[in-house]
Chains A and B, each alone.
Chain A
């Protein structure tokens, strides 16, 4: 049974449709990447799942219970990290962590000190003095110290440095190993690639693709820069090569992910001196998606 399930979720703010018909499901033990550009409706969906917002129509269920009606019961087994962590300036980080653990109702919090250590947080400082990253750490520590069945993480790493992001990724993997489920939202595709079993892509309040990253490969392009000893022939003749630009023996182009193998094979014949690649971006993905389906205006 799905841990999280929404059906035809719609949310209107006045006449503006923030969500129109969002279907989403997350299974037990699954890390689900929830991807979309800023303003796509990720936080709105998450807030409906948390029972903070009431859906205009549609259903949202977590653990088989109604996200709005049974919020308190659900939250005993759920941990949430918002994108923008707002804390009380005159409480210390340690106090906030204890408060969150207690008000979630989790008595077992043996991991608290370990997590503080792992995230290198000074819990004796007042929240007033914390940077954005440190406030995020407070929320992350309190979330990962809890033995929750579902973790909802809304762009949780935007203030973390690479080292801490690594710690974060380890924590998510630990949760997964322990059989927990995770919803991880982000506006950066590559960020969730490493962690997620499945991703859902949302844009302007509509889910446009769902599947494993492998299934979405057909939508992604890698951008490549190649310098060869000999001048190559016309790359555009190859299948899956787009927008090539030449500068002497250096060529820059986009490659369809599923054709990368054959392209590489061709290129290697000319003596590769240098090769650089950039991961597919969300923008590239949208571009390909909309090459086939034109977008409809939002709202009414």
Chain B
């Protein structure tokens, strides 16, 4: 009788593998490619032991520990130790994200879409789908571990031996395995895939922070986070396998819990109450701007946090940049030394411009949301009410402007915060702020262009992304690839002064702002004259 619960698990495994025949290889290849490319460049970046030791000296500050885990083997900072210390945790997080997405796809998403109901109507066991999902995910994580392990070993990099490499892979797979079980539990609790993903990613973020705290105060708190087991292996230095076995045990325990919960619940139910939504709307929702903000709130918060973290990660590397620059020919091409400025000061504008362009993404998304709403047939809801085109359009523009300010602010504060922790002579807050906000006119121009395109037709809005991509290529890689000057002058980012090396160019900023305003007004004009298609 017992067997009946698992009837046809084997066929389902094949079926799931077939459904995921593109997704799984893409994830594995992506993670592998990331690992390979870092492993390939690290030894070249730091060719001598002295260089590595100078980096090692910066690895003991709290910002770095919070980000990548405690340093180990710092007295003899081999390429292996360096790679494992700085990259292993992030790679394990990628494996965890992969597992969260794949598990939810096969458990709750399939159930929500009614596919499980269909499968269950065949002579298929009640636990067959969850078993098949686990088998597939275990297979994926083990395959990932082995491919990365052997892959690193065959590169024959000094200090990266077979055992260490296999452990490196195993630590990544262990991260994925624990989150497979944990996500499977969350999939039992909630009633829809979205909430399951929400819980899983919150857990991922929470465990990352828990480990950061534990690593900083060394209280052992890290062992309550799956990521503590990943960094606890001390790959390439101590090669401790114990955390891997512990992680496998924890993963199995989570899996057993998920199986039990699955076995006692009805189809389409969850253990958490469905969470009744609001019966009446909050006052803050009841205006075009209120609605617009509400629809973008989650994205807005995530992007602000993301820009802050991006600022921190860029800031964290500033400390060892001076020594780094001396050896990297690549960077020398990008930076022509300027008298009277340190190399970090010269490097700052480039960091800021990359971050400003990243920060432009959510800003443009705010404007393009208007086109998205139209394509999804929801704009007509608003325009059949007593709301003018101007009012709804400018709600989006206004939010984009606020978003621009927040993104620049978040990245500037993040950068300053980390730079203050790691640099011997940290930047002034005002320097970073001036540098960051110098990009505001460029963002305004990007907003205005998206307004113009959306104003002409909802279809054209997405063209703004191409322009942003173009800007990124010419401004970021332009120096390196020796593009002619006029190419970067076709992008608004090409007109932003290199603060602190150059001084603020107010006439240019004012000019750009005026042009942006004119383009926005033109876009508004078109938007008022055209058909709303849905």
Contacts and interface: CB of A to CB of B under 8 A. Distances in A.
Interface of A: 47, 50-54, 71-73, 75-76, 78, 80, 82, 84, 86-88, 90-92, 94-100, 102-105, 123-126, 128-129
Interface string B281-315: 11001111001001100000000000000000000
Given A82-B380, A104-B386, A124-B277, A52 B286 contact: no
A103 B382 contact: yes
B192 A52 contact: no
A95 B287 CA distance: 12
B156 interface: no
Interface stretch (B334-342, B414-422, B526-534): B526-534
B19 interface: no
B388 interface: yes
19 contacts: A47-B380, A50-B380, A52-B531, A53-B532, A54-B529, A72-B388, A78-B384, A82-B381, A86-B381, A87-B381, A88-B295, A91-B277, A91-B294, A92-B279, A95-B281, A97-B281, A99-B281, A104-B385, A104-B386
B280 interface: yes
Nearest to B388: A72
Given A51-B383, A98-B280, A86 B529 contact: no
Given A88-B295, A124-B279, A128-B192, A98 B380 contact: no
A90 B294 CA distance: 9
A105 B288 CA distance: 12
B384 A50 contact: yes
Contacts of A95: 277-278, 280-282, 285
A72 B386 CA distance: 5
B281 A98 contact: yes
A54 B380 CA distance: 14
Interface of B: 192, 194, 276-282, 285-288, 291, 294-295, 376-378, 380-388, 529-532, 534
A126 B285 CA distance: 15
Given A94-B277, A125-B277, 17 more contacts: A50-B383, A54-B530, A54-B531, A72-B386, A73-B386, A75-B385, A75-B387, A76-B386, A82-B380, A92-B277, A94-B279, A98-B280, A102-B281, A103-B287, A123-B279, A124-B276, A124-B278
A103 B385 contact: yes
A100 B385 contact: yes
A47 B534 CA distance: 9
A94 to B, nearest CB: 5
A145 to B, nearest CB: 13
Contacts of B386: 72-73, 75-76, 103-105
Given A94-B278, A99-B285, A75 B530 contact: no
A129 to B, nearest CB: 8
Contacts of A88: 295, 378
Nearest to B276: A124
Identify whether the interface residues of B are mostly helix, strand, loop, or mixed. Answer: loop
A13 to B, nearest CB: 9
A82 B383 CA distance: 12
A80 B383 CA distance: 10
B280 A103 contact: no
A251 to B, nearest CB: 46
Nearest to A75: B386
A123 to B, nearest CB: 5
Most B Cβ at <10 Å: residue of A72, A73, A80: A72
B382 to A, nearest CB: 7
A68 to B, nearest CB: 10
Most B Cβ at <10 Å: residue of A84, A87, A126: A126
B285 A86 contact: no
A105 B388 CA distance: 12
A125 B277 CA distance: 6
A73 B387 CA distance: 9
Nearest to A102: B286
Most B Cβ at <10 Å: residue of A52, A100, A103, A105: A103
A67 B531 CA distance: 13
Most B Cβ at <10 Å: residue of A53, A90, A99: A99
Contacts of B380: 47, 50, 52, 82
- 5 tightest Cβ-Cβ pairs between the two chains A and B: A92-B277, A98-B281, A86-B377, A80-B384, A95-B281
A86 B376 contact: yes
Contact of A99 (B291, B531, B534): B291
Contact of A71 (B192, B278, B383): B383
Contacts of A87: 378, 381
A291 to B, nearest CB: 37
Contacts of A125: 276-277
A107 to B, nearest CB: 12
Contacts of B295: 88, 90
Contacts of A126: 277
A94 B280 CA distance: 5
Contacts of B192: 128-129
A92 B383 CA distance: 20
Contacts of B376: 86
A53 B533 CA distance: 8
Contacts of B276: 124-125
A47 B530 CA distance: 13
B167 to A, nearest CB: 43
A69 B530 CA distance: 12
Contacts of B277: 91-92, 94-95, 124-126
Given A52-B532, A92-B279, A124-B278, A100 B381 contact: yes
A103 B288 contact: yes
Contacts of B531: 52-54
A51 B529 CA distance: 10
Contacts of B280: 94-95, 98, 123
Contacts of A72: 386-388
Nearest to A123: B279
A12 to B, nearest CB: 11
A135 B192 CA distance: 19
Most A Cβ at <10 Å: residue of B286, B385, B531: B385
Nearest to B387: A103
Contacts of A103: 286-288, 382, 385-387
A227 B381 CA distance: 52
A124 B282 CA distance: 13
B422 to A, nearest CB: 40
Contacts of B282: 95
Contacts of A47: 380
Given A94-B280, A124-B279, A86 B288 contact: no
Contacts of A75: 384-387
A96 B530 CA distance: 26
B318 to A, nearest CB: 39
Contacts of B388: 71-72
A99 B286 contact: yes
A52 B387 contact: no
A216 B194 CA distance: 53
B284 to A, nearest CB: 11
Contacts of A129: 192
A215 B385 CA distance: 35
Nearest to A13: B531
Contacts of B291: 99
Contacts of A73: 386
A298 B531 CA distance: 22
A127 B374 CA distance: 18
